[in-house]
Amino acid sequence: MDSSWANLHVAILSSPGMGHLIPVLLLGNRLATQHGVRVSVLLVTTAASPPVWELLKLPLHPLVQILELPPVDISHLIDSSAKVVTQLCLMVRESLPSIRAAMDPRPHALFVDHFGTDALHIAAEFNMPNYVYIPSNAWFTALLLHSPLLHQQIPGDYVDQTDPIQIPGCKPVRPEDLVDPMLDRKDQQYQEYLKVCTNIPLCDGVLINSWKDLEPKTIQALAENRIPVHPIGPLTREVEPGNRDSDLVRWLDRQPHESVVLVSFGSGGVLSQQQMTELAWGLELSRQRFIWVVRHPTQGAVDDAFFRVTNGHDDATLDYLPQGFLSRTQNLGLLVPNWAPQAEILSHPAVGGFLSHCGWNSTLEGITNGLPLIAWPLYAEQKMNAALLAEEVGVALRPRALPTSQVVGREEIEMMVRALMEGEQGRRLRGKARQLRMTAVEALKVGGPSHTTLCDLLANISST
Ligand code: UDP
């Protein structure tokens, strides 16, 4: 450990949701483990939020302390149509008094995730260096930074554009792949999104969970930006040997090398009944081994589970699966209700592919285990992630149409799973993922680009 920063104390604000909390805790652990920095993680909570990190079993370095902020109630501010981004931004806004109170004693710097940018002015009040941590990729970050200009340049809804949306120096974005809040300019979450995008340039620098070898062109383009963008990734969970002792891991131990595909839609993803049926049939017809993290189908939004992730005990009935599916696939697959130890599963040698919703944490967990993906995006920035992985990075195949625009049929699923697990295409994608896994290790090791970036950032903080 480099202990040059042993007297530094930083606070990192995490908005609710696994996809934010996990990378925040990983950043905290990294700062503590590699650099000896003391870290307070300020966690925005609501009365309804379950104690999420207990699900994670993520060992924290003793220098990392979690401070749960008092739960906020936003029910009087929203109606049932309020989208995820609206809710996240309101939760942070309602927590501002307790975030300010947590600045005593004053840390040396404040980091906020991108839904926490309303708290940046607190850092300014306390005259502290402040950073926005976007726990995602460079391309999405470029879109965020460019969105205030797009708002001025493009009249009407983005989805009605016939041409791809241009971002300077980056791959253009197809209108249908844009992030959720850009899909409807009339919804309140677009206003919240725009506020986030306008706030980001107020900070001293942006941290992203990516690395140069994954997105060389986009990271280069971001270097031209007025706000410094620091790639510090890929930060992913490491698996503790003790966690390998479970029925699930014992099942994996009995499967051949690289023979199992993990099917998981992150912390928030839910499918329709019809899509669940097609997916079940597709998996069965593929005759490939699988672990499938199943959730009760929804008639509502595809991110229905976002604020209510649980450990599975409340959802044990599987009557939504096709009749006979369980008995016909009992030697082929394993179903896990709601929540599975994804990091452990992906690092197991029996796993050879990942059908994923392309949340950025899941994506990184796949790549850093050298796994090819089937990209099945559902919400947030996942459609961009899927396009990036399939078209630019070359580690994923994906359905012909977006799964949010039409049901993916069983034959297509069968074909994709086979291609991933035993086809030439799967072999090529796996080769690329393995190559990237090596560059990820290089990026993070002492003297590697992501490690050096964090050292430089800490040097800036300590000299302020
Ligand atoms: N995760 C998990 N078990 C599950 C579902 C998700 O451990 O059953 C973890 C997953 O490994 C990842 C995080 O939750 O680290 C989800 O983050 P991601 O960015 O992939 O997607 P989000 O849930 O934010 O959509």
Percentage helix, strand, coil, to 5, in the chain?
45, 15, 40
Report the predicted TM-score, pTM, of the whole model to 2 decimal places: 0.95
First vs last C-alpha separation in the chain: 23
pLDDT digits (tens, 9 = 90+) for 345-387: 999 999 999 999 999 999 999 999 999 999 999 999 999 999 9
302, 331, 335, 304: which is closest to 318 by C-alpha? 335
pLDDT digits (tens, 9 = 90+) for 197-210: 999 999 999 999 99
Cis bond leading into 403, ω under 30°?
Answer: no
- Ligand 1 nearest-atom number relative to CA 379: 25
Q: Which amino acid is at 67?
A: L
Give me the torsion for CA of 209, 211, 216, 218, rounded to 10°: 10
What span, in angstroms and rounded, lies between the C-alpha atoms of 114 and 126?
20
Nearest CA to ligand 1 atom 7: 342
Nearest CA to ligand 1 atom 21: 359
Q: Average of pLDDT values for 295-321?
A: 70
Map out the domains of the chain with their CATH numbers. 9-237+445-463 (3.40.50.2000), 247-439 (3.40.50.2000)
Q: Is 387 in the pocket of ligand 1 (CB under 6 A)?
A: no
pLDDT (0 to 100) of residue 243: 58
Nearest CA to ligand 1 atom 6: 266
Place 313 in a pLDDT band, splitting at 50, 70 and 90. very low
pLDDT digits (tens, 9 = 90+) for 390-407: 999 999 999 999 999 999
Which two structure tokens, joined as six digits, stand for 334? 């394993």
pLDDT digits (tens, 9 = 90+) for 47-104: 766 655 566 678 899 999 999 999 999 999 998 889 999 999 999 999 999 999 999 9
Task: Report the alpha-carbon angle 410-412-413, nearest 5.
Answer: 65
Which two structure tokens, joined as six digits, stand for 397? 């195949």
Q: Is 339 in the pocket of ligand 1 (CB under 6 A)?
A: yes
Q: Could you tell me the distance, in angstroms and rounded to a whole number, from the CA of residue 12 to the centre of ligand 1?
A: 20
Q: Average of pLDDT values for 5-18?
A: 91
Pocket test for ligand 1, best of 179, 362, 373 (most atoms within 8 A of CB): 362
Residue 298 confidence (pLDDT) above 90:
no
Question: Scanning the structure block, which residue is given the tokens 């928030």?
Answer: 268
Helices and strands (DSSP H and E) totals, the chain: 17, 13
Length of the chain: 464
What span, in angstroms and rounded, lies between the C-alpha atoms of 336 and 248?
9
Dihedral sign for Cα atoms in the order 22, 26, 11, 69: positive
Q: Could you tell me the distance, in angstroms and rounded to a whole number, from the CA of residue 459 to the centre of ligand 1?
A: 32
305, 137, 285, 282: which is closest to 221 by C-alpha? 137
Q: Is 266 in the pocket of ligand 1 (CB under 6 A)?
A: yes
Q: Is 86 in the pocket of ligand 1 (CB under 6 A)?
A: no
Q: Is 22 in the pocket of ligand 1 (CB under 6 A)?
A: yes
Is residue 333 helix, strand or coil? strand
Strands 373-375 and 351-356: parallel
Residue 3 confidence (pLDDT) above 90:
no
- How does the average pLDDT of the chain come out, rounded? 92
pLDDT (0 to 100) of residue 444: 97
Q: Is 361 in the pocket of ligand 1 (CB under 6 A)?
A: yes
Residue 142 confidence (pLDDT) above 90:
yes
Place 46 in a pLDDT band, splitting at 50, 70 and 90. confident
Q: Is 177 in the pocket of ligand 1 (CB under 6 A)?
A: no
What is the set of active-site residues? 20, 113
Q: Residue 354: in which H helix or E strand, if any?
A: strand 351-356
Q: Could you tell me the distance, in angstroms and rounded to a whole number, from the CA of residue 153 to the centre of ligand 1?
A: 35
Q: Could you tell me the distance, in angstroms and rounded to a whole number, from the CA of residue 44 to the centre of ligand 1?
A: 18
Q: What is the DSSP string of 144-170?
A: HHHHHHHHHH--S-GGG-SSPBP-TTS
